């Protein structure tokens, strides 16, 4: 029997008790990986309520029932030390960590003029700091292994950004900022860890989950069509691929994924360039070149690339 793509590898998936994280953990296990299922287990999508071992334990049990290997971890990835124990638990259980999938997040939606400081801080803490915390300890693990071996090792990071970062989301300034920060963290990590054999990529998934129940409330699953086009199971295969040896040449990339579609997002390109006719620009000269440039373009044209993907702005 041929080996599965992730046979012999170990993975950590954060926020894996429900939704996207659950689908991703199940997919990695189906492809042969031993999985640490991490979920803090709070019932509220805003990060409120008593933490529970239930969601993580249930997914780990589901993997084991299907013949896979999994253990549950219920730490809060936004806590630096708990993120350390998460990575250490994988190393202790499986001898090493090979794959890190960062998915944990919460929502505290509000318009920017009404947002409280705590609403901003909590979302940045769970999404952006949570991604950093686990990445920091996984990166140190891979760097140490590489130095000890005297050669590159196998390591994969898959981070979770969002189309809210690509196209804007009026009621989610905290979420959009965190997801933009995750892209920056991903590209920086990709450059820093490439020489150790580690890749880091980010996805912008679109799926019907507890986090997006308001966004897709009016979009019903077509009758009699099988899998919901917005099911998280459409996203999981891409995560499995990016986590595999086959994707060793894919690094520092951002991909949009949903409903049987994957789109590679280009890094920003210069759309126009203007040079001053003097040592530096004056106010009048800037108005003379930038004023007409923007006046000739419909509002929001800078979002054309994302609109091609069928995104809904705002």
- Cα distances from 232 to residues 53, 125, 269, in angstroms, run 22, 24, 31
Residue 162 among the catalytic residues: yes
Which of 131, 188, 139, 135 lies closest to 161 in space, CA to CA? 131
Cα separation, 55 vs 192, whole angstroms: 34
Q: Give the tokens for residue 227.
A: 């899998």
Cα separation, 154 vs 160, whole angstroms: 20
Cα separation, 198 vs 183, whole angstroms: 16
Question: What are the two backbone dihedrals, phi and then psi, of residue 159, each rounded to the nearest 5 degrees?
Answer: -100, 160
Which of 75, 187, 94 lies closest to 133 in space, CA to CA? 75
* Cβ-contact 109, 43 below 8 angstroms: no
- Cα distances from 91 to residues 12, 86, 141, in angstroms, run 10, 9, 9
- Cα distances from 276 to residues 33, 139, 232, 282, 287, in angstroms, run 57, 44, 50, 8, 12
Residue 129 among the catalytic residues: no
Q: Per the residue annotation, which of 162, 169, 196, 244 is the catalytic one?
A: 162
Q: Give the tokens for residue 159.
A: 């981070």
Q: Per the residue annotation, which of 169, 175, 196, 244 is the catalytic one?
A: 175
> Which H or E run contains 11?
strand 10-13
Q: Per the residue annotation, which of 10, 40, 78, 179 is the catalytic one?
A: 179
Secondary structure of residue 255 in the 3-state scheme? strand
Residue 179 among the catalytic residues: yes
- Return the active site residues: 162, 175, 179
């Amino acid at each position: 029997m041929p080996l599965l793509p992730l046979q012999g590898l170990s993975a950590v998936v954060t926020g894996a008790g429900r939704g996207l994280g659950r689908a991703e953990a199940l997919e990695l296990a189906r492809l042969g990986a031993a999985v640490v299922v991490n979920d803090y287990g709070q019932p509220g999508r805003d990060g409120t309520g008593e933490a529970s071992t239930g969601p993580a334990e249930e997914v780990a049990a589901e993997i084991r029932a299907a013949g896979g290997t999994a253990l549950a971890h219920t730490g809060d990835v936004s806590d630096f030390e708990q993120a350390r124990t998460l990575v250490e638990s994988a190393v202790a259980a499986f001898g090493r960590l090979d794959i890190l999938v960062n998915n944990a997040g919460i929502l505290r939606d509000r318009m920017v003029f009404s947002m409280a400081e705590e609403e901003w801080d909590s979302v940045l803490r769970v999404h952006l700091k949570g991604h950093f915390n686990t990445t920091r300890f996984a990166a140190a693990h891979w760097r140490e292994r590489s130095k000890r071996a005297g050669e590159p090792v196998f390591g994969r990071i898959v981070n979770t950004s969002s189309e809210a970062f690509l196209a804007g989301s009026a009621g989610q300034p905290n979420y959009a900022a965190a997801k933009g920060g995750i892209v920056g963290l991903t590209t920086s990590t990709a450059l820093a860890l490439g020489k150790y054999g580690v890749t880091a990529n980010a996805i912008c998934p679109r799926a019907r989950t507890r986090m997006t129940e308001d966004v897709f409330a009016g979009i019903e699953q077509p009758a009699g069509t099988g899998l919901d086009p917005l099911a998280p199971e459409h996203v999981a295969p891409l995560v499995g691929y990016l986590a595999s040896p086959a994707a060793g040449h894919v690094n520092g990339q951002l991909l949009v994924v949903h409903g049987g579609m994957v789109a590679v997002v280009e890094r920003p390109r210069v759309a126009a360039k203007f040079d001053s006719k003097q040592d530096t620009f004056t106010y009048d000269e800037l108005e003379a070149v930038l004023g007409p440039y923007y006046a000739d373009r419909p509002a929001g044209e800078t979002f054309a690339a994302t609109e091609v993907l069928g995104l809904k702005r705002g």
